[in-house]
Structure 1
Amino acid sequence: MQDNTDQALKVTRLLTRKDALNESRLEARQESAAAAPGEVLLKIDRFALTTNNITYAAFGEAMNYWQFFPTGQQDWGHMPVWGFADVVDSQVPGVAAGERFYGYFPIASHIRMQPERVTARGFYDASEHRRTLTSAYNQYTRVSNDAAYAPELENHQMLYRPLFITSFMLADFLEDNRFFGATRLVVSSASSKTAYGTAFCLRDIPGISLAAITSGRNRAFVEGLGCYREVVGYDALETLPADAPTLYVDFSGDEALRARVHRHFGSALAYDCFAGSAQNTGFLRDTGLPGPKPEFYFAPVQIRKRNAEWGPEGVNQRFNAAQRKFIDHVKAPANGWLTLVEEQGFGAAQERIASLVAGASEPRAGYVVRLA
């Protein structure tokens, strides 16, 4: 613990307009540099920006993502990101100044938290406004006791860990349910990191073939992943054979595309799994489609199921092993899956968010912002 009682601290926050995600502004204010009793003060060092963060904002009201880091301003929210932060001051036993944590943060220079359930692994933020929110997002991992952590892989961890947990648990959910009787999986937005993480987990499952739907400009990239037996552009969806039980894994949220999938595959469509979207913020409206009702997939539900069956440590061991295998594959230059792009400062974050909202990101690019 440090004596920062009389020191002032400039706290900068990047706020996003809730109804226009490409618009943001910076806000700065002076605060005490000391943590209050029962509180820790963390300085955010670096974070990743992907379309997943745009999804958090797009679903900010519907799924309470704006509530994790309230701004006190009705029209402006704090876009959540995954990254690393260092403890500046602590008034909590078991959490020391200088320690580094991985977790869910706002785009800001600093944040105050109220740790509870402090263990060697880390802590949960028990701030009052977070108590009713999904607990998986309230957990902060101490890097000194994280079996999956390596300093040289911080950028990869920020980029892929929050996405790969969705990929890993989605693959597990589908396998757990025996793919709802399907032998072919058709994946939309196949160039997205969550989509190809899922395909990576499923690519060697016996009796299951994977087909990808993607944009024309991303087709070569998706073909190069080596995960899919077939890759077609959106305009060529109807060329995919409809001769086997098929499961649609929807990362696009495009209602017109979903309608085409249902009509093309007809009675062969066994299940429609909506895995999330940065574009469509609606919750699977009933549009009168033939075939199975689209079902929303939410990773924390499968995590809770496996925690009960395997135990939290068992889940962590399986996930860490799968994640390391995936990251080792992704970061190998010969595979061509990732080009790291590291940017500096709040201005870079604003520009990158606007670019992601506009859909201008490259599928192999991984964007990281450093604030320190």
Structure 2
Amino acid sequence: MKRRHCAAAAITVVCALAVLSAPVQAWAAPEPPPSSQQVPATKSLAEVRAEIDQLYEKAGAATDAYNLAEEQVKKQTAELGDLGRAIDDGRSKIARLKDRIGSQAREQYRNAGLPPGAQLALSTDPRLFLYGLNQIRQSQQASTSVLAELTRAQADLELYTEDAQDNWDKLEAGRLKQARAKKEINARIDEAKKLEAQLEEKERARLLELERQAQAAAQSSWLSSGALKDINREASPSGKAAVKFALAQIGKPYVWGAEGPGSYDCSGLTSQAWAAAKRPIPRTSQEQWAQLKHIAIGDMRPGDLIIYHSDATHVGMYVGDGMVVHAPRPGRNVTLAGAGSMEILGVVRPDA
């Protein structure tokens, strides 16, 4: 056995020496990879712009999902707090009822263990008999009432506990949705930023100009279509307050999930503007679209919300003159834009 090991070791050494003594083959140096600062020549700037827009739209959709999950988490947390207090109250109530039942048992013990009926039968005084009969009836009613109340309290406590577990499960599900949405948002934003970073300075300037031209063309086409019957309708008093608030936020940065005061995402801006007007509305653009009253584009007035994209993932506030104030996307600030410069899904009115 020892000889076999020695032989194997010798063979290994010989092989290693053979490899080391073999002539070295010359290899051509690999060509350097394309610079990460350049966009592949096969893509035009228009195509790059479309790809970046699509990535930010996906980030917007994920942001709406995140915001909705956050609202649900807040709701479940509040409900859990209420249920926790109800459970504590229920336990205290059950303890008090059990004390009352215990007091009745102790009273019976003090009466030598005789039930009230037996004590009454032993009484020879008619007045005491009648009085005792009345006391027995009251005692029996009280005992029945206490037991019934204890049964109800225990049933309520079980129901509160089941509801608390259900709300806890929903809370955990909401947190998982938030985590997934957050991951999706960051991934799409990182992709878009990477694409933009690959452009040279002149190309980035040109890309921005292409974006402005496309928005201007879309706005011009929308206005000339006659979709908006009256460009300067009168806003309602609450609409004026909402517009005033929104316009005051111009210049503040877009931050996904933000609802002020230093930064906003699109629905964070519109929901806070209407909250300032004392008319609370849903937090997300999709919920604003789902829950608020829909109106015709032609009847739009300042303060109304324009919902954009087929999946309702962007929103701006109409301010008159064919313009909206909105928080566009990461890397941009709250600004004014043409109301028709993006794909309109429809219009909703918070104070209809």
TM-score norm. by structure 2 comes to 0.22
Q: Which structure has the higher relative contact order (CA within 8 Å, separation 6+)? A: 2
More helix by share: 2
TM-score of the pair, normalised by structure 1: 0.21
Higher strand share: 1
